[in-house]
Amino acid sequence: MASPPSSRQLKSPSQSAAALSVDLSAAIMAATPDEPRVLTVHFEQQRLDSLPSGPLQSQHRTLEMGLRTWVAEQTQLTLGYVEQLYTFGDRDRAEAHDLRAGHTLSIAYLALVREARPAGMAHAAWRNWYAYLPWEDWRDGRPRALTVIEPALKAWAKAGGKSLRSFREERIELTFAFEAGDWTDERVLERYELLFEAGLVPEARREAPPAGSAKARLAPGQPMALDHRRILATAIGRLRGKIKYRPVIFELMPASFTLLELQKTVEALSGVRLHKQNFRRLVEAQGLVEETGEVTGETGGRPARLVRFRREVLVERPAPGVKLPRLR
């Protein structure tokens, strides 16, 4: 099975250890009413799942064209709209055996698609993104992953001594809100970064365990290759934020759907349960959807009305997002 040439494989032995290379990575998101998904690839020589990615090469006219080329080759998926997420460049984000290769800039993109079966030169599959970040899913109440994370983070705060303890405790409360219970769904990257700094994710231990973390239990969740779990966290946070002020959710929905399917998809992405009647009133009051005149009996109960996204809303007001009326 073929694999993309690593940006590190493109360097000659005579190059300096401080050489700089550029990798392009795509967090490609899809969703069903019950599951948010990210497209992953798994190459023969790798132990861990990756995001579709590859090095920027001389034949790539632009960064985005390079990204589209790698995605098409690895998954046979043609991307529509993509947006740049962030550029990462920390040395400790690389695999341990690659640290001598110097800095690799990782330029990440977010893409939203309606799920299609991927197939290509690498094994590609859609995965539930909560398999990698299980503490982000509150739909069934407080995630079990937090029973491991909370005591481990509090022990890490104490290990900092007087000079760091208060600062660390404030950061823990700001990101995880253990005491206040005021969970902010968009702080996905901040939570992952805190776990990384505390040495509670395997990615933080690739070179050497951070001080005081060697005996700590790791947070549940599957690690990913390179810095790809960090990129995934960034993409989820970006998407959760955009849902509230742009109608991006409809990029993931079929042409027609029920209001219950829309609500469940929003819940899957945001990781929280929503108040059913308030959600419906908000969607209808904002004019986000219109009825198709058809019904479906696939709901298991009484036939449900099918609706579709009303595109006129894009020119009617500047921020037509989907509000999140949470259950308390």
Does residue 7 fall inside a structural domain?
Answer: no
Residues 56 and 152 in one domain: no
Q: 323 and 285 in contact (C-beta within 8 Å)?
A: no
- Domain-embedded: residue 42: yes
> Between helices 146-159 and 161-176, what is the axis angle to 10°?
150
Could you tell me which residue, 59 or 328, shows the higher pLDDT? Answer: 59
Whole-prediction pTM value? 0.87
Q: Give 323's contacts (C-beta < 8 A, 6+ positions apart).
A: 244, 279, 282, 286
Q: Residue 7 pLDDT more than 90?
A: no
For residue 71, tell me if it sits in a domain. Answer: yes
Beta bridge partners of 110: 27, 83
**Residue 25 lies inside a defined structural domain of this protein:** yes
Asked if 85 and 185 sit in the same domain, the reply is no
Instruction: Tally Cβ neighbours within 10 Å of residue 257.
Output: 21
Tokens at 189, concatenated: 């990257």
Q: pLDDT tens digit string along 52-97? A: 999 988 888 899 999 999 999 999 888 888 999 999 877 655 554 4
> Do 124 and 175 reside in the same domain of the chain?
no
β-pair type (82-88, 53-55):
unpaired
Distance, in Å, from the CA atom of 21 to the CA atom of 230, rounded to the nearest integer, reads 19
Phi and psi at 281, nearest 5°, equal -65, -40
CATH code where residue 293 lies: 1.10.10.10
Average pLDDT over the chain, rounded to an integer: 85
Per-residue pLDDT, averaged over 121-149, amounts to 93
Asked if 119 and 215 sit in the same domain, the reply is no
Tell me whether residue 267 is in a domain. Answer: yes
Task: Examine residue 256 and state whether it is found in any structural domain, yes or no.
Answer: yes
Provide mean pLDDT across the span 135-156: 96
Q: How many distinct structural domains can be found in the chain?
A: 3
Whether residue 194 is predicted with pLDDT greater than 60 in this model: the reply is yes
37-63 pLDDT, tens digit per residue, is 999 998 777 789 999 999 988 888 899
Q: Is residue 9 part of a domain?
A: no
Most confident segment among 20-24, 69-73, 136-140, 241-245: 136-140
Domain residues for 301? 247-316
Place of tokens 């951070």: 210
The verdict on 291 and 311 lying in the same domain is: yes
Are residues 35 and 88 part of one domain? yes
Residue 14 has pLDDT above 50, yes or no: no
Beta 21-31 vs 104-112: how paired, if at all? parallel
Claim to verify: residue 103 and residue 173 sit in the same structural domain: no
Instruction: Examine the pLDDT at 192 and tell me if it is beyond 70.
Output: yes
Q: Select from 206, 234, 262 the last residue of a domain.
A: 234
Say if residue 30 is in the same domain as residue 123.
yes
Same domain membership, residue 108 and residue 32:
yes
**Boundary (domain end) residue, out of 193, 213, 234:** 234
Residues 262, 179, single domain; the answer is no
pLDDT for residue 198 is more than 50: yes
**91-134 confidence digits (pLDDT tens):** 655 554 454 556 678 899 999 998 777 766 668 899 999 999 99
Q: What is the CATH number of the domain that holds 102?
A: 3.90.79.10
